[in-house]
């Protein structure tokens, strides 16, 4: 259901009022207002006319985690589902999350299951989230399922935060490099050119190259920005909207030097952790593995891992299905095999996920340490070229004048 803001007149008094109402569409909202004794003047979907309002109503991961954890706590304390949802809705500070919570409440109170209510918002609640909700409802362990969801969402957010954090420092260093080079090219190189012209001397090759580059960027900066904009914008468009673009980006992630191994561990740990949650909540094996594959968020790895589903359908064990998969790290099928023998597959997969999560933490820290000296060398080399093309010719001129 959607939320609509309206202006309407009271039939009895003619008084103009404003408010909001939930309905499937604009026409239904108008009918509901008429039934309540109002004459609709305007009925507009919330956020539809105002892009800024739409942005304010977005739900971030932190809001979703808090909502899920609070709901798990209230349901675990024995509060009825509808009352739990209303309490969480009243407590949330996010306008977007509050709107979704109210729509979920309306759906649940109309007789739908919680799974059906959450399924109406696939952009907010992914397949893993929905599958755990459904399994929790069927098994009567909804509070446990919600807590597992919140825990996993927090782990994923923390891991992605560390990866992004590891890239912040290199980004700053690259920014400094670009700024220093730009300053030298704009302020220093033209001065050297003028000096040589005044002296009637021919510029050295390196300096002439820097001058030509400065002149080009000075005359065609708009063309450079346009080309960069087309390349970056086109790349983002292809990655986000086309399967070919997404597959190319996903292939790059798992093969890029230095970061490829990190991404592989991230995907495998995410697969193992999701499979552990599914199996522990009572989801059947085939469904658990299928959902875990969908949670990887890399089309190349997902395509490879999906081959294991046919092997499982053919009667083979999970450990056998995973053992020959490309991009699969060896500990997962080994732990799955131990779990099959002990009857604790979910627990063993969780331990494998924990091992790789710990390795990821260490690897992220090591990458941050490794990148620093590499960038310093690159910065020194580039600045050395510019300095060599500017200061050394000046020294040469000074020596000639002295002679």
What does the pLDDT read at residue 36? Answer: 79
Name the residue with higher pLDDT: 189 or 121: 121
Q: Tens digit of pLDDT for each residue in 336-351? A: 999 999 989 999 999 9
From residue 17, alpha-carbon distances to 7, 30, 38, 262, 397 in Å are 6, 14, 9, 57, 82
Q: Tens digit of pLDDT for each residue in 118-133? A: 888 888 888 788 888 8
Q: Tens digit of pLDDT for each residue in 203-238? A: 777 777 878 888 888 788 888 889 989 998 988 888
The yes-or-no verdict on residue 48 having pLDDT over 60 is no
pTM of the model: 0.69
What does the pLDDT read at residue 115? Answer: 87
Residue with tokens 């909207």: 241
Of 77, 71, 72, 76, the residue nearest 89 (C-alpha): 71
The burial class, CB within 10 Å (0-12 / 13-18 / 19+), for 342 is: exposed
The burial class, CB within 10 Å (0-12 / 13-18 / 19+), for 229 is: exposed
Q: Which helix (H) or strand (E) holds 386?
A: helix 345-402
Contact 274/349 with Cβ under 8 angstroms? no
Query: C-alpha angle 289/292/297, rounded to 5°?
Result: 140
Q: Tens digit of pLDDT for each residue in 134-149? A: 888 877 888 888 888 8
The yes-or-no verdict on residue 334 having pLDDT over 70 is yes
Give me the residue spans of the domains in the chain: 2-56
Round the average pLDDT of the chain to a whole number and report it. 82
Q: Which residues are CB-neighbours of 333 under 8 A, at least 6 positions away?
A: 318, 319, 320, 322, 323
What does the pLDDT read at residue 53? Answer: 44
CA 281, chain centre distance (Å): 26
Q: Which residues are CB-neighbours of 302 under 8 A, at least 6 positions away?
A: 293, 294, 296
Average the pLDDT over 243-272 and give the result: 88
Banded pLDDT at 352 (limits 50, 70, 90): very high
Half-sphere exposure of 173 (CA within 13 A, CB side): 18
CA 321, chain centre distance (Å): 29
Of 86, 60, 57, the residue nearest 71 (C-alpha): 86
Of 50, 49, 28, the residue nearest 40 (C-alpha): 28
Three-class SS of residue 259? coil
What does the pLDDT read at residue 351? Answer: 92
What does the pLDDT read at residue 47? Answer: 58
Banded pLDDT at 304 (limits 50, 70, 90): very high
């Amino acid at each position: 259901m959607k939320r609509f803001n309206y202006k309407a007149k009271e039939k009895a008094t003619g008084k103009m009022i404003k408010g909001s109402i939930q309905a499937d569409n604009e026409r239904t909202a108008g009918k509901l207002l008429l039934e309540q004794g109002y004459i609709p003047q305007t009925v507009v979907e919330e956020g539809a006319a105002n892009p800024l309002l739409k942005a304010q109503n977005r739900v971030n991961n932190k809001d979703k985690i808090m909502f899920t954890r609070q709901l798990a706590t209230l349901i675990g304390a024995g509060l009825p589902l509808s009352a739990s949802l209303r309490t969480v809705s009243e407590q949330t500070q996010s306008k977007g999350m509050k709107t979704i919570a109210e729509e979920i409440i309306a759906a649940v109170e109309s007789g739908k299951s919680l799974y059906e209510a959450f399924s109406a918002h696939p952009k907010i609640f992914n397949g893993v989230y929905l599958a755990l909700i459904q399994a929790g409802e069927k098994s009567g362990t909804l509070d446990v399922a919600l807590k597992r969801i919140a825990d996993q969402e927090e782990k994923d957010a923390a891991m992605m935060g560390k990866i992004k954090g590891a890239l912040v420092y290199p980004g700053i260093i690259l920014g400094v490099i670009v700024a220093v080079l730009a300053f030298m090219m704009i302020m220093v190189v033209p001065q050297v050119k003028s000096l040589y012209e005044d002296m009637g001397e021919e510029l050295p090759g390196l300096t002439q190259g820097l001058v030509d580059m400065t002149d080009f960027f000075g005359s065609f900066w708009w063309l450079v920005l346009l080309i960069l904009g087309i390349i970056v914008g086109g790349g983002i468009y292809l990655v986000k909207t086309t399967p070919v673009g997404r597959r190319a980006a996903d292939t790059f992630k798992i093969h890029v030097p230095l970061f490829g191994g990190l991404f592989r561990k991230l995907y495998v740990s995410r697969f193992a952790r999701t499979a552990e949650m599914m199996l522990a909540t009572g989801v059947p094996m085939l469904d658990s593995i299928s959902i875990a594959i969908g949670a990887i968020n890399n089309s190349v790895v997902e395509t490879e891992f999906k081959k294991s589903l046919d092997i499982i359908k053919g009667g083979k064990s999970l450990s056998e299905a995973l053992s020959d998969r490309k991009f699969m790290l060896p500990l997962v099928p080994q732990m799955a095999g131990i779990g099959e023998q002990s009857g604790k597959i979910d627990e063993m997969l969780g331990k494998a996920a924990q091992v790789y999560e710990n390795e990821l933490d260490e690897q992220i820290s090591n990458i941050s340490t490794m990148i620093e000296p590499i960038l310093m060398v690159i910065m020194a080399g580039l600045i050395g070229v510019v300095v060599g093309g500017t200061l050394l010719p000046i020294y040469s001129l000074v020596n000639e004048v002295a002679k």
